[in-house]
Amino acid sequence: MAEQNLEQTPRDLVPTVIADELHIVYRVHGAKTGKGSATSALSRIVKRGEERGVRKVHAVKGVSFVAYRGEAVGLIGSNGSGKSTLLRAIAGLLPAEKGRVYTNGQPSLLGVNAALMNDLTGERNVILGGLAMGMSREQVRERYQEIVDFSGINEKGDFITLPMRTYSSGMAARLRFSIAAAKDHDVLMIDEALATGDRKFQVRSEERIRELRKSAGTVFLVSHNNKSIRDTCDRVLWLERGELRMDGPTDEVLKEYEKFTGK
């Protein structure tokens, strides 16, 4: 694992996220082991000291890093490598089994599956989403049209007045990103949001991320799109099977990752 040399880090950089030997373990209740019910029952009896009928999944294993204000950090790795789990832990949504996460400021997690209310119109979701992020009603009103225009969902009709359940997954994802990007964040974590939508929207999103960095925020981006990582991030964390395999400049890490994946 290649670690960032913190001794060479300028002293004026401000840490925003510190992960210290972080371990995250999921507990799956009612999980079966073995091929038959008898095997499953015997396994539970034999494994003394473990919770009955609970399977443990060690999703993040001893991950340590420091992220700084103004950085855009990409998270890459195979499916199931722990990327989204790590973001949820940073956001305070998952407890650490061992180790700690420290944040300077309020972390905000934006995911493609982030909850908006399907029965409400896009317009109402913009208002509620803005309020939920801590914006005042006046700020929401001021930025409402900017959010709608940024999302591009009204380019082919007045979709903002329709219920969210009528939206395609791409339209919904673009609206989620647009709501989150309307506010400056201390730490903004984006889970695959740039993978949706056309190239024009991706370009707008990447430009907005650069603006967020200039406003002294830190951005984490999970993506399987290496081009988005290259265009947006100056540093990359590569996770594999829950372990931090490499941490360094974008080009160096992506070069090794692409050799690993053969792509």
Mode of pairing for the β-strands spanning 54-68 and 72-76: unpaired
144 token code pair: 């409402």
What per-residue confidence (pLDDT) applies to 224? Answer: 85
pLDDT band at 83 (very low <50, low <70, confident <90, very high): very high
Residue 210 is predicted with a pLDDT of: 82
List b or e across 98-129, with b for residues whose CB sees 16 or more CB atoms inside 10 angstroms.
ebebebbeebbbbbbebebeeeebbebbbbeb
Please give the average per-residue pLDDT across 119-137, as a whole number: 90
pLDDT in tens, 30-80: 655 444 444 454 444 444 445 566 788 999 999 999 999 999 999 999 999
In the chain, the percentage of residues whose pLDDT exceeds 90 is 47
Calculate mean pLDDT across residues 69-94. Answer: 93
Per-residue confidence (pLDDT) for residue 50, from 0 to 100: 52
Q: Mean pLDDT over all residues of the chain? A: 84
**What domains are there in the chain, each with its CATH number?**
6-106+185-261 (3.40.50.300)
User: So what's the pLDDT on residue 10?
Assistant: 47
Q: Which neighbouring-strand residues pair with 238?
A: 76, 246
Mean pLDDT computed over 154-168: 91
Query: Would you place residue 29 in the very low, low, confident or very high pLDDT band (cuts 50, 70, 90)?
Result: confident
Res 45: pLDDT:
45
pLDDT at 128 over 80: yes
3-state helix, strand, coil in the chain (%, to 5): 40, 25, 35
Structure confidence at residue 132 (pLDDT): 82
Which of the residue ranges 10-24, 68-82, 123-137, 181-195 would you say has the lowest mean pLDDT? 181-195
If one compares 42 and 180, the residue with the highest pLDDT of the two is: 180
Q: What angle do CA 18, 21, 24 make, to 5 degrees?
A: 100
| Lowest-confidence segment of 116-120, 209-213, 224-228 by average pLDDT | 209-213
Q: According to the model, what pLDDT value does residue 60 have?
A: 96
Alpha helices in 70-198 (DSSP H): 83-90, 122-132, 137-151, 169-181
CA distance 79 to 56: 18
So what's the pLDDT on residue 31?
A: 52
| Amino acid at the residue 128 | L
The yes-or-no verdict on residue 112 having pLDDT over 70 is no
- Name the residue with higher pLDDT: 8 or 140: 140
Predicted local confidence at residue 42, as pLDDT: 41
